[in-house]
A and B are shown apart, each in its own frame.
Chain A
Amino acid sequence: MTSQIEVNNLAKSFRVAKRTSGVFGALGSIFRREYQNRVALSNVSFAIEAGELVGYIGPNGAGKSTTVKILSGILVPDSGTVRALGMCPWKQRTQYVQRIGVVFGQRTQMWWDLPVIDSFHLLRDIYSVPDAQFRRRCGELTDQMNLGAFLNTPVRQLSLGERMRCDLAAALLHSPEVLFLDEPTIGLDAVSKLALRQLVKSLNVEHGVTVILTTHDMDDIEALCSRVIVIGDGEILSDGPLTELRNSIARERWLTVELEGDQMFSPPANTTIMRREGNQVWLRYDPVITPTPLLISAIAATNNVRDLLVQEPPIEEIIAHIYQNGQP
């Protein structure tokens, strides 16, 4: 069986007009323009199975949004192929978009002046959703996302969190099989973020919707994604489960030691002190070379320890490492 979404050797570059600064530069550009080629994607391939929840991450300008735009059929690549839901997104755009949902965190697809429910009705007709199905779906989404209180409020008067929830509901009214979320939690407060994550998770688990999520928020990734694709400079740097990504970088662990009082502390062999503040010491070590139980007993034997805490390095560190080095 073929995958739900198959991407092969995708490439896209943009022509950007180069301007020289100053008056003469501006005058000159009237007659002669120079263009620069900026490669957004150079050779991207991956496959996504139905029901997966994939995180798609990379630094700004890495080609995340370009990929999402190509996958949703609104941008045509220079070369490469995409086969999604058995179609080519940009060639069979109208049929294809009927079966996908897209949310861009920074834009809204609802009608600014209309109450939320009117936007929903418009979308119902645009996507030709049968009335009974629409009512059931709209009811479900309203309950799940707690939209009841502002269904009759014009979109322009909603807070960002409320608007995001409505936008997500709007993208789901036609029961899409694939959902693209482009930075859905950008600018949201902690509570709204958690609510949104829960929703996405339940959509994926209960309804089997395939979700492709781009984000800069690593907590989103940790909370949601079983698989992470990392892209940088238009190429895929890493693709796999989150744990694999972690291990591929460094099997590093962090140990925080809280000492009794302000005593001397010398690090055991094969560990490094990252920093020390008062009676707290942060150590970094490799759990394969120095097994954690041995390290702890060694420290406890030679020091007066009040507390110990073992952690994995935050995912941000790992990602930053990949971004900087180009590969895991």
Chain B
Amino acid sequence: MTPVSAVRPYLTLLVARCRQETQYRAAALFGMATQLFWGLVRIAIFTAFLKAGANRSSMSLPQTVTYLWLVQGMIRAMPWSVDAEIRNLVREGTVVYELLRPIDLYFSWYMRAFARHAIPTIMRAIPLFVAAVLLFHMQMPPTVSAGALFVTGVVLALLLAAAISTLINISLLFTISGDGIQRILPAIANFASGLLIPLSFLPSALRRVLRILPFCSLIDTPARFYLGQIGTPEAASMFAQTLIWILALSWFGRFLILRASKRMVVQGG
């Protein structure tokens, strides 16, 4: 089999999934409106704090505002929940068909997860950023290279989000309901990614720990690229760190899915 024909099934699945995601245009529009509203609320809160003289971070007020808009745009890249369709597949046992296909189950689920994060993020973030830059004091990246680093950072963030999401979906093969992980994961991810509070505002000891974990690559790292806080040499090592996390989580997911398929029991006729 040539490399091209080996990759083709996964590309097809990716494209099909992306096409399906682009159908939810109304959802994207209303989602964007919600994001815009919450963005303004959060900016009001942070502005109040910073103006009261509580700022001990390295971020100025305009930078904070920009960071908050980046968070609002990237919200759909967060691996918050299990894929409802995969959950139904597992509950109803239709997951057997996934195993009856001559493809690697991990990569086919990974493609699905990637589309599920990438398409809604792109559909919401771009119009939201345009609106925020024009109307609500969002800054442009200071340099072209900062912009380029940001785009690379977002691509890596989406790849990482897909790896985490796939891992959560795989956990369904063990727990079936996935309710537990759906409650605990957003709490951890929101805090550790910088979604709740920019990591620069946290105490430095805590910040150091959080910047080793994978979650900071979802939001905090790309946002710092955007703000031009990180130079290219430093960026390279951060990209490397993210890549290592992506590979490690994917390897772990693939290991789990192989184990699960050995002990999986699909009940009933």
Compute how far the CA of A65 lies from the CA of B269 in the bound complex, rounded to whole angstroms.
6
Chain A positions within 8 Å of B11 at CB level: 125
Q: Which of A75, A95, A98 contacts B265 (CB 8 A)?
A: A75
Chain B positions within 8 Å of A14 at CB level: 265
Whether A108 lies near B94 (C-beta < 8 A) is yes
Whether B12 lies near A74 (C-beta < 8 A) is no
- Of A99-107, A200-208, A289-297, A304-312, the segment with at least 4 beta carbons within 8 Å of chain B is A99-107
Given contacts A75-B266, A109-B97, contact A128 B5 (CB under 8 A): yes
For B88, the closest partner residue in chain A by CB is A112
Given contacts A76-B262, A125-B12, A183-B269, contact A95 B92 (CB under 8 A): no
Any B CB within 8 A of the CB of A302: no
Tell me which residues from 243 to 269 in chain B have a Cβ below 8 Å from any Cβ of chain A. Answer: 261-266, 268-269
Compute how far the CA of A97 lies from the CA of B9 in the bound complex, rounded to whole angstroms.
15
Q: Interface centre among B93, B97, B103, by most A CB within 10 Å?
A: B97
Q: Which of B8, B16, B94, B102 contacts A95 (CB 8 A)?
A: B102
Given contacts A65-B269, A183-B269, contact A122 B12 (CB under 8 A): yes
Any A CB within 8 A of the CB of B99: yes
Q: Which of A90, A109, A114 contacts B100 (CB 8 A)?
A: A109
Any A CB within 8 A of the CB of B20: yes
Given contacts A75-B264, A109-B100, contact A126 B12 (CB under 8 A): yes
Q: Interface centre among A73, A74, A109, by most B CB within 10 Å?
A: A74
Number of chain A residues whose Cβ lies closer than 8 Å to a Cβ of chain B: 34
The interface bits of chain B over 68-92 (1 if a CB of A lies within 8 angstroms of the residue's CB, else 0) are: 0000000000000000000000001
Compute how far the CA of A102 lies from the CA of B1 in the bound complex, rounded to whole angstroms.
24
For A90, the closest partner residue in chain B by CB is B262
| Size category, B interface | 20 to 34
Whether B103 lies near A122 (C-beta < 8 A) is no
Chain A positions within 8 Å of B266 at CB level: 69, 74-75
Any B CB within 8 A of the CB of A46: no
Q: Which of B13, B261, B269 contacts A106 (CB 8 A)?
A: B269
The interface bits of chain B over 104-144 (1 if a CB of A lies within 8 angstroms of the residue's CB, else 0) are: 10000000000000000000000000000000000000000
The interface bits of chain B over 171-209 (1 if a CB of A lies within 8 angstroms of the residue's CB, else 0) are: 000000000000000000000000000000000000000
Whether B102 lies near A107 (C-beta < 8 A) is no
Any A CB within 8 A of the CB of B27: no
Closest approach, in angstroms, between the C-beta of B122 and any C-beta of chain A?
21
Compute how far the CA of A104 lies from the CA of B266 in the bound complex, rounded to whole angstroms.
12
Any B CB within 8 A of the CB of A235: no
Any B CB within 8 A of the CB of A182: yes
Any B CB within 8 A of the CB of A159: no
Whether B265 lies near A125 (C-beta < 8 A) is no
Whether B102 lies near A97 (C-beta < 8 A) is yes
Compute how far the CA of A102 lies from the CA of B101 in the bound complex, rounded to whole angstroms.
10
For A182, the closest partner residue in chain B by CB is B269
For A171, the closest partner residue in chain B by CB is B100
Given contacts A118-B16, A183-B269, contact A126 B103 (CB under 8 A): yes
